Structure 1
């Protein structure tokens, strides 16, 4: 399903991060991280990690995930917020349409939404290639 797609996990709860990682790997994807803080996630992005999608916890030990999400969205990387409190208010005001899965819903639901977003992006790229010079 994910066929070597590189997915960034930003999650500070080890058990949830491991569970997300296992689902991604079981779907054929490759895990970037997991990053346990905003600073660590931003460092991975700044280092040029090849990221094709991301599952982000809304709140981490060093702040909310807004800066990470904004960096990824600016790069047109599909993002799903997987959080117990929902999308951070500042992020919601800028990107109210980001997909959100509230914990304790299954992590597989967040991955399913991410897969759908990645597939939509790939379809759009194919259409553009066919119709643009």
Structure 2
């Protein structure tokens, strides 16, 4: 399977994060036909298709959103919002996964790509 790196090749951290996310996604997906998981989404060359890569990146961003507290009310708390460590950690992971998927050649929805105009997080 192409989630495995080539022997004796050192990969960037973001590529390792993407491969781990692909493996985790495939291992928890329902492998029965028609349920969108397991072998579903795998191409004949052993890579997942771009839709599955999008789903994996979206799951990483959803994990960020799930732990992000609502912004403070400026009327009651005028101080700057401080990002909790868990949010920062999940955001860094989501960025690494998205970048790694790109490095692996997957074409992701623009809203899932890290950057200044990033819609994902």
User: Structure 2 length as normaliser, TM-score?
Assistant: 0.33
- Structure label with greater radius of gyration: 2
Flag the structure with more relative contact order, 1 or 2, with Cα contacts below 8 A and sequence separation at least 6. Answer: 2
Higher strand share: 1
